[in-house]
């Protein structure tokens, strides 16, 4: 670490993180702490100096991460304590989810909870022995032990009882390893559809009948649950349980769209609501939420044709394209009157003090839709169109004002997994909303990934790339290779993209990535995917993730990908791999399906005899477009779509032999609905296809 006289242009301290690309790591580059990035240099230093490692994990938009940096890591006294007694490593959890995952498992197992910043102390051979989250600098804050005290205690114990700590850490890691072992040896059969019924019943018990969502505050958007419930409804449309599943999803999505968790001025959704009613958000927006929620609102629109869901999906796309991409009234009634009525704006603020314990929003308003456009029109004796026009003008005025304020921090790091989720969002939006600009945006994102985050020579996907000026894309000196979730999410995005643009290069790349994922992460002995590569010696605990949380688990998404690809390419081995995943997590699927809703969705797909819908005709022909538009009017989650023109689909025609026998009838684009590679009689009118699709829906 370099030290110099501090000037306006020269910081007093500079450490190794100044050479990193991650915005989060760069935020700590001028701490007095002698930080190392995760890597062999730090590990060797700890071994040579016989010092324990202090590992700090966070991310750039984490509030308490910034608090701990300001209170502790900018503190010269604490910096000296760390530098003298520990080797300090800083990790961006979004850049290295493998490291975060291992030590978060330890922290949760030993403390009962977890979160960020995560603070863990390791032996020089990377075994954890003490862990926690945020620590205040001194003992007097928040009834939590002070960071200084903890550093003194751990340093003293290490010097006096190093062998005891090392033995304890080995025992803890061995216990965690035994507990994390997941295999398909104990379950001879794939779970049945009863798991979906149980999952629906468990969600029904947790459902908030008044405000939507599941459970109490804080409330998170849970797209994996919406995905499951929509599929459950599709399978059980005439039953009370199916109707209830649809209601739970639509009601929650409506309340979220009206709530403060939805940014009504600058679009997009915040990370979560701090309260039960979706009013006061945690002011942080994540790409992975936008991508998944775009799919949820597109599905809702496809099922209901309700304009609210279409508008909300478009709202998300507007935000992502602008901010997360590499851009008449009656006399006497004012714009503000209408706006304040519709969004529940109060003179003294609309945030309940119980929702704001630190008075950060005192006398302020978080926009919350508590009226309808129709009620607002009635209140001010206006037409519905006049109210809509007024609200749009008001939102634009406030948006222009907001742009004059200091912008919130933007982490410009690009993550492959999250881009995969957003490709799915744009692709699904392009299909359902009939908006080709959304499909074009998905194509551009996929091309970007292939150019900058994929090694064509090795077939390896990279985890992330970086840009400082939104123009120049770069990698760190030793690029971080993708993890199982990067492969899974990107493959899903490519399959969704194909069903929106019908260019079979995306299926070809999806197949290539699937083979590479199998090579790098598949457990041949026990089944299922490890989250990180097995040969990585710096990862001391191998984990097979199954829980579907803010992001679906890579095993859940991969099971669905394998089933979709096996249906498209007639690859029975990949279907068998999906079956093994179901067996690995059978106990979880059968006993606590609400913890793995995305995996249960894959089980439903498996038991539903997925249909191939094949349209033969010129991709750009109006008759072909008409058949595709008819198809996308329907919510058909248990299908794969292929479009063949006989000339530009060489990959598919090579791998899907049935395509060579399907032809246009009477010179017009023709649709075939196939199951188990047996096809219905061909149809070449939208009305005939409509009848065939309705007839193929569950009774």
What's the pLDDT tens digit per position in 552-566?
Answer: 999 999 999 999 999
E strands present in 504-638: 611-616
Compute the distance between CA of residue 692 and CA of residue 88 in angstroms, rounded to an integer. Answer: 64
- HSE-CB for 85 with a 13 A CA cutoff: 19
pLDDT > 90 in the chain, percent: 70
Q: Around Cβ 681, how many Cβ atoms within 10 Å? A: 9
Mean pLDDT across the stretch 582-588?
A: 94
Residue 328's pLDDT is 46
In the structure, what pLDDT confidence band is assigned to residue 696 with cuts at 50, 70 and 90? low
639-648 per-position pLDDT tens digit: 999 999 888 8
Q: Around Cβ 659, how many Cβ atoms within 10 Å? A: 18
Residue with the bigger pLDDT between 185 and 667: it is 667
Compute the distance between CA of residue 656 and CA of residue 64 in angstroms, rounded to an integer. Answer: 52
CB 457 within 8 A of CB 464: no
CB 428 within 8 A of CB 301: no
Nearest CA to 408 out of 344, 472, 319 is that of 319
Give the lowest-confidence range in 82-96, 133-147, 549-563, 628-642: 133-147
Q: In whole angstroms, how far apart are CA 16 and each of 1, 10, 26?
A: 7, 16, 9
Give the β-pairing of 460-461 and 414-415: unpaired
The residue behind tokens 């710096």 is 538
CB neighbour list of residue 481: distance below 8 Å, 6 or more residues apart: 460, 461, 462, 463, 533
Tokens in use for 654?
A: 């090579």
Compute the distance between CA of residue 621 and CA of residue 667 in angstroms, rounded to an integer. Answer: 12
Compute the distance between CA of residue 465 and CA of residue 442 in angstroms, rounded to an integer. Answer: 18
**CA of residue 623 relative to chain centroid, distance:** 36
Instruction: Look at residue 621 and tell me whether its pLDDT is greater than 80.
Output: yes
609-699 classified as CATH 3.40.30.10: yes
pLDDT > 70 in the chain, percent: 95
Residue 650's pLDDT is 86
Instruction: Look at residue 91 and tell me whether its pLDDT is greater than 90.
Output: yes
Compute the distance between CA of residue 593 and CA of residue 612 in angstroms, rounded to an integer. Answer: 28
Residue with the bigger pLDDT between 422 and 365: it is 422
156-177 per-position pLDDT tens digit: 999 999 999 999 999 999 988 8
Instruction: Look at residue 514 and tell me whether its pLDDT is greater than 80.
Output: yes
Give the β-pairing of 87-92 and 36-37: parallel
**CA of residue 17 relative to chain centroid, distance:** 27
Mean pLDDT across the stretch 205-209?
A: 96
Compute the distance between CA of residue 555 and CA of residue 144 in angstroms, rounded to an integer. Answer: 37
Residue 478's pLDDT is 79
CB neighbour list of residue 486: distance below 8 Å, 6 or more residues apart: 415, 416, 417, 420, 461, 462, 463
Q: What residue spans in the chain does CATH classification 3.40.30.10 cover?
A: 2-180, 609-699
Residue 332's pLDDT is 60
671, containing H or E segment = strand 670-675
247-301 per-position pLDDT tens digit: 999 999 999 999 999 999 999 999 999 999 999 998 889 999 999 999 999 999 9
Residue with the bigger pLDDT between 616 and 610: it is 616
Q: Around Cβ 580, how many Cβ atoms within 10 Å? A: 20
The residue behind tokens 């005939």 is 688
Residue 424's pLDDT is 97
Residue 4's pLDDT is 54
2-180, which class in CATH?
Answer: alpha beta
Largest CA distance in the chain: 88
Average pLDDT of the chain is: 91
Burial status of residue 353 (CB atoms within 10 A of its CB: 0-12, 13-18, 19 or more): exposed
> Whole-model pTM?
0.86
Give the lowest-confidence range in 329-338, 452-461, 520-529: 329-338
8-57 per-position pLDDT tens digit: 568 899 999 999 999 999 999 999 999 999 999 999 999 999 999 999 99
Residue 143's pLDDT is 66
Residue 188's pLDDT is 78
Instruction: Look at residue 327 and tell me whether its pLDDT is greater than 50.
Output: no
Mean pLDDT across the stretch 439-450?
A: 95
CB 699 within 8 A of CB 238: yes
Q: Which residues pair with 118 in a beta bridge?
A: 57
Residue 382's pLDDT is 84
Identify the three-state secondary structure at position 683: strand
Secondary structure (DSSP) of 622-654 = HHHHHHHHHHHTS--SSEEEEEE-SSS-HHHHH
């Amino acid at each position: 670490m370099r030290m110099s006289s501090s000037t306006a242009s020269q910081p007093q301290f500079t450490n190794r993180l100044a050479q990193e690309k991650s915005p989060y790591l760069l935020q700590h580059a001028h701490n007095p702490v002698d930080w190392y990035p995760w890597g062999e240099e730090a590990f060797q230093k700890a071994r040579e100096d016989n010092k324990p490692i202090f590992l700090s994990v966070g991310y750039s938009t984490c509030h308490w991460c910034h608090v701990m940096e300001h209170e502790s890591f900018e503190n010269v006294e604490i910096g000296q304590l760390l530098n003298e007694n520990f080797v300090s490593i800083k990790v961006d959890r979004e850049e290295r989810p493998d490291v975060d995952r291992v030590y978060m498992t330890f922290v949760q197992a030993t403390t009962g909870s977890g979160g960020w910043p995560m603070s863990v102390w390791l032996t020089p051979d990377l075994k954890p022995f003490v862990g926690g989250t945020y620590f205040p600098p001194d003992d007097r804050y928040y009834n939590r032990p002070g960071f200084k005290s903890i550093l003194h205690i751990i340093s003293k114990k290490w010097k006096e009882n190093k062998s005891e700590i090392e033995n304890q850490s080995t025992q803890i890691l061995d216990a965690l390893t035994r507990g994390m072992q997941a295999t398909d040896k104990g379950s001879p059969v794939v779970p049945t559809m009863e798991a979906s019924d149980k999952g629906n019943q468990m969600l029904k018990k947790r459902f908030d009948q008044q405000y939507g969502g599941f459970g109490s505050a804080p409330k998170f958007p849970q797209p994996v649950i919406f995905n499951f419930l929509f599929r459950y409804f599709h399978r059980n449309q005439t039953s009370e349980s199916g109707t209830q599943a649809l209601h739970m999803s639509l009601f929650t999505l409506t309340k979220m769209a009206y709530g403060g968790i939805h940014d009504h001025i600058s679009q997009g959704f915040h990370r979560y609501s701090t309260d039960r009613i979706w009013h006061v958000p945690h002011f942080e927006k994540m790409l992975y939420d936008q991508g998944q929620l775009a799919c949820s609102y597109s599905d809702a629109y496809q099922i209901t044709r309700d304009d609210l869901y279409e508008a909300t999906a478009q709202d998300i796309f507007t935000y992502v394209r602008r901010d997360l991409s590499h851009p008449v009234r009656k006399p006497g009634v004012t714009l503000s009157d209408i706006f304040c009525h519709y969004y529940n704006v109060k003179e003294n603020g609309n945030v309940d003090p119980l929702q704001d314990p630190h008075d950060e929003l005192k006398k302020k308003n978080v926009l919350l839709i508590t009226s309808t456009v129709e009620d607002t029109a009635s209140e001010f004796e206006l037409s519905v169109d006049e109210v809509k026009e007024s609200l749009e003008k008001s939102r634009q005025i406030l948006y222009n004002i907001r742009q004059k304020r200091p912008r919130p921090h933007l982490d410009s790091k690009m993550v492959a997994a999250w881009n995969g989720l957003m490709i799915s969002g744009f692709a699904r939006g392009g299909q359902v909303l009939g908006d080709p600009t959304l499909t074009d945006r998905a194509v551009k994102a996929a091309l970007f990934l292939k150019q900058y985050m994929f090694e064509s020579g090795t077939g390896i996907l990279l985890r992330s790339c970086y840009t400082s000026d939104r123009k120049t894309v770069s990698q760190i000196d030793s690029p971080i290779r993708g993890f199982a979730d990067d492969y899974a999410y990107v493959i899903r995005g490519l399959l969704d993209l194909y069903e929106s643009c019908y260019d079979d290069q995306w299926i070809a790349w999806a197949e290539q990535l699937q083979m590479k994922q199998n090579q790098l992460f598949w457990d041949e002995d026990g089944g299922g995917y490890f989250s990180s590569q097995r040969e990585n010696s710096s990862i001391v605990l191998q984990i097979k993730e199954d829980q579907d949380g803010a992001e679906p688990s890579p095993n859940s998404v991969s099971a669905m990908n394998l089933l979709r690809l096996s249906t498209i390419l007639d690859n029975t081995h990949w279907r068998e791999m999906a079956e093994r995943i179901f067996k690995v997590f059978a106990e979880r699927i059968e006993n606590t399906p609400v913890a793995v809703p995305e995996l249960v969705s894959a089980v439903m797909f498996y038991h539903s005899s997925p249909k191939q819908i094949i349209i033969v005709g010129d991709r750009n022909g109006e008759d072909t477009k008409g058949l595709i538009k008819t198809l996308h009017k329907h919510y058909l989650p248990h299908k794969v779509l292929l479009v063949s023109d006989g000339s530009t689909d060489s990959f598919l025609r090579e791998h899907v032999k049935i395509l060579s026998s399907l032809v246009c009838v009477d010179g017009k684009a023709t649709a075939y609905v196939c199951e188990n590679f047996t096809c219905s009689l061909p149809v070449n009118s939208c009305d005939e296809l409509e009848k065939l699709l309705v007839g193929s829906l569950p009774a």
